[in-house]
Structure 1
Amino acid sequence: AVMETADGAGLVTSELSRSCIEMVSPVFETVSDLARELPVLRRRVAEMARGAGVEIVGSGTHPFSEPTEQPLAEGAHNRRLEDEMGWVARTQAIYGLHVHIAVPDGEAAIGAVNELARRVPLLVALSANSPYWRGSDTSLASTRSKIFEMFPRSGLPPAFRAWEDFVLHVETLVASGSIPDASWCWWDARPHPKFGTVELRAPDVQTDASHTSALVALVQCLVAGADGRAPEDPLFIAENKWRAVRRGMDATFYDFASGRSIPARQLARELAEELRPISQDLRCEAELESIIEIVERGDGAGLQRAAFERNGSLEDLVDHLAGATVPR
């Protein structure tokens, strides 16, 4: 119904589940532009939704709905996905934040993806916003992350050494009949040849629009500062990602430099400080500084649990999240 209301507006598009709409922002030159316009875009989409008798909610999962009861969106792409994935496709009533950053060429894309890959655990911790699933507290901070990992070619990306390696990998998958094109590689971070960008897909949708801007600033700075290094041991990065999925900002991460575990909050503060000069060059210093607000207030999962304790029911939590997604 929202898609019909928004027809021609260019603001939203369908996703796999009909319970999900993807809000499509224009290309922004600076994160400051995004920070200014995102609340406006959310209000416009919320008005369309209310016209159809529903509210929009920014959360990595719906706290109590039954995913398999949500019909899939129409279209040849989604029919092919359901054909290929079966039951897995019908569980994907989940909601992610996808960030595209323009890069000049393929080699820059590989360097940026490798940099984002090593930072995925911290990015998951900062963005964790999906503690409830099918009416239960899962004990996870980012339930969405584990649900999406049921998809093939998801999770941490391969550590490609050069653009040619990525191209060969995709060509082999296409030639073998596994995928139609590169867009069916759903890694946490990936090159996006169609758009000339790198895309980060790991974060949960954020309830607070300012947290979205903070995460985008962090991602832009990481891409700008990528130095071409390959990621460290992928098994330890995967271990750190699990810690982030489980505990969000309360996690500790194995630190490759020191060989010991360090609190996620400490790493976030240190990374924000390290990236400050880059943020000044990119004119997103204020937005990057908002990462510290997430560190101090806690991740979205913790805020959801606190709101549930105050309100007493998951239905009331959804009402709270709707109000926080688009404040009236």
Structure 2
Amino acid sequence: MTDFPTKKGLCDAHRLSIAPMMDWTDRHCRYLHRRLSRHALLYTEMVTAPALVRGGAVHLLEHSPEEYPVALQLGGSDPAELARAARMGAQAGYAEINLNCGCPSDRVQSGRFGAILMTEPALVAECCAAMIDAQPVEVTVKCRIGVDDQTPEEVLPEFLAQIIAAGVQRVQIHARKAWLDGLSPKENRDIPPLNYDLVQRMKMLFPNLHISINGGITSLDQAVSLLDQGLDGVMVGRAAYHQPADILCAADRRIFGSTEPDTTPEGAVQAMLPYIETHLASGGRLNQITRHMLGLFAGRPGARAWRRHLSEGATRPGAGPELVERALAEVTDLKESSPIL
């Protein structure tokens, strides 16, 4: 089990984090992202407390110590069940346990967790208190600024005040309202307007609360700018998945002050090869890993050839690390001669 981090160490990691994203931020994705940044905080996909506690799905907690620092995001609304799930997460070695109060999907709503919990701050506070009492690692909350017809300027301060009273010291705020009635989960990621100003006002209202901002952040420059404006952390979602090198290769230097050389997508590919071999030897399939690598060369010469090789070849029987090496060779050969695709 990984040692629990110091409070300062986890605080530093929160300066840049990669958002929990269903079907995307699995252990293979996180391993890749760690090859690009040594310091950014990584999150699991949301794991439901009922799946762990009632379903015994402990395999959902699997991760490599090399992903560290990595946080577990839980979904649920039963304090006792969340407490047990949080204890399981701590025992598995996660650096942080995060409660999902932001996901707008119908499936999540029907389970009475995710963004619908923005309407029940007292329940969220009770859940957080139970999770904090049950185990030793930090409990955080990822939330929206409000849902449906709520007025964010009114409900968000009350929501934050209640979870602070329960012992939460760190939140990640998606700076959009979620419309649970009328918009799909995909539309909820784009259509509701961003309100960064409100999140910044929450930092002034609650100066001791560590606030990371999420939503609409598409570049490392933008992340640096938001930190410079006084926010404690920035959480990046889809941009970090689709263009991971753009977000992460220079992050250790620009966000964390590292003096080590920036990482490169080529170096990350080379570092992934032993991991791929181990995964295949255990019965896994190549495309389970390479599907997360498609965007590594986004915006660079050879990006299309890279994506084509992996997309077409990784599902074929017997495909292995040599396919990845051939795809990388094409990128290298095309670097000087191909247009940016």
Same fold at TM > 0.5: no
Q: Which has the larger radius of gyration?
A: 2
Compare the two structures and name the one with the higher helix fraction: 1
Q: Which has the higher contact order (CA 8 A, sep 6+)?
A: 1
The TM-score normalised by the length of structure 1 is 0.30
